[in-house]
Amino acid sequence: MSLITSIQKYSIHDGDGIRTTVFFKGCLLKCLWCHNPETQCFKPELLCDRERCAGCGSCAAVCPQKAVKVQEGKMVTDQKLCNGCGTCVDYCNLNLREVAGKEYTISELVRELKKDEMFYEESGGGVTLSGGEVMMADMDYVVELAKRLDKMGISVTVDTCGQAPSENFERLLPYVDTFLYDIKTMDNDVHKKYMGMGNEQILKNLEYISSKGARIYIRIPVVREVNGSIEDMGAIIDYLKEKQIRVANVNLLPYHNTGSGKYEKLGLTYKGTDLHAPSNDEMEQFVTLFKESGFHNVKIGG
């Protein structure tokens, strides 16, 4: 069984056509700008809108773990004590509390995904498995899910940061039509600073799936302080060409902080406040650089 934080229907930015995206919980990377911090931890987590909290204490009164306490007139959840049971959610008078991480059986999830089959067929879409990091989920579960979707004729795309055991990619590869594969930076030290780990395993897995003929969309979150220079983009281009990575598309994704509001709900501090997106002109320069280097399907966003 795997934990899923959300199922996003009618998605048009997670692969080809109209897709339903399944967000699995748990990721080894800790990117400073992560848009989905509720998917990083591998266990259920409690989110609470503290700003609107009236401090009534109803949640604290029923918490089996005694994880909820009052602080400055607001209810605060100790995530170390909380086990994500959700008892407090039912007793919040203002409906400000929710649990990130729900278990689905494979059959339950397939039934939910099949509801949008008509949209997949008409648009050339399908299902995207995302996260967190789906390649770090229970692989028996993920492989069986992908097998069933593939047998039904539903296209499967995997959105991955690449930080996972190589054998997981080997197992899932036969059932995946497209990999949306993140590259943040070629500089290993910079990768450790902003993502919390080096990029050795990420590059190893990219080279592996490419050697096996996978269809790959390279996705580059573009952050001025991390990879926002001609030199940084040139290093990525040189790597892709040197290793002869099978690149179908390149998507350049300008930095944004739309997920920053989730951090407070988790009792966390957003650490990306000093990060910035490159200008529009700079982004266009990066597009030109890729195209001049022989990559023809390059666009901003997507």
Q: What is the pLDDT of residues 15-41, one digit of tens each?
A: 999 999 999 999 999 999 999 999 999
DSSP conformational letter for 279: P
pLDDT of residue 120 exceeding 90, the answer is yes
Output the average pLDDT for the chain: 96
Domain limits of the chain? 3-41+104-300, 46-100
For residues 122 and 140, give the distance between their C-alpha atoms in angstroms, rounded to a whole number.
30
For residues 172 and 250, give the distance between their C-alpha atoms in angstroms, rounded to a whole number.
22
Cα-flanking dihedrals φ and ψ of residue 58, to 5°? -60, -40
Q: What is the mean pLDDT of residues 60-84?
A: 91
CATH of 3-41+104-300, one of 3.40.50.720, 3.40.1360.10, 1.20.58.1030, 3.20.20.70: 3.20.20.70
Q: How confident is the model at residue 71 (pLDDT cuts 50, 70, 90)?
A: confident
Asked whether the whole model's pTM tops 0.85, one would answer yes
The pLDDT assigned to 173 comes to 98
The first and second tokens of residue 60, run together, are 């604290």
Q: How confident is the model at residue 72 (pLDDT cuts 50, 70, 90)?
A: confident
Digit-coded pLDDT (tens) for 153-187: 999 999 999 999 999 999 999 999 999 999 999 99
Question: Alpha-carbon torsion 200, 206, 209, 212, what sign?
Answer: negative
Decide if 3-41+104-300 and 46-100 have a common fold: no
The pLDDT assigned to 23 comes to 98
3-state class of 158 per DSSP?
Answer: strand
Burial 28-41, CB ≥16 within 10 A → b, else e: bbebbbbebbbbbb
Domain over 46-100 is classified CATH 1.10.3720.10: no
Q: What is the mean pLDDT of residues 128-144?
A: 97
DSSP conformational letter for 75: E
Q: What is the mean pLDDT of residues 59-63?
A: 94
% pLDDT > 90, the chain: 93
Are the C-beta atoms of 81 and 66 separated by less than 8 Å? yes
The pLDDT assigned to 104 comes to 95
pLDDT of residue 302 exceeding 90, the answer is no
Q: How confident is the model at residue 147 (pLDDT cuts 50, 70, 90)?
A: very high
Q: How confident is the model at residue 289 (pLDDT cuts 50, 70, 90)?
A: very high
The pLDDT assigned to 82 comes to 93
Q: What is the mean pLDDT of residues 231-256?
A: 98
Q: How confident is the model at residue 47 (pLDDT cuts 50, 70, 90)?
A: very high
Question: Within a 13 Å sphere around the CA of 22, how many CA atoms are in the beta-carbon half?
Answer: 29
For residues 102 and 162, give the distance between their C-alpha atoms in angstroms, rounded to a whole number.
24
Q: How confident is the model at residue 70 (pLDDT cuts 50, 70, 90)?
A: confident
3-state class of 129 per DSSP?
Answer: strand
3-state secondary structure 33-58: CCCCHHHCCCCCEEEECHHHCCCCCH
The first and second tokens of residue 292, run together, are 């001049």
Are the C-beta atoms of 184 and 145 separated by less than 8 Å? no
Of 74-78, 223-227, 281-285, the range with the lowest mean pLDDT is: 74-78
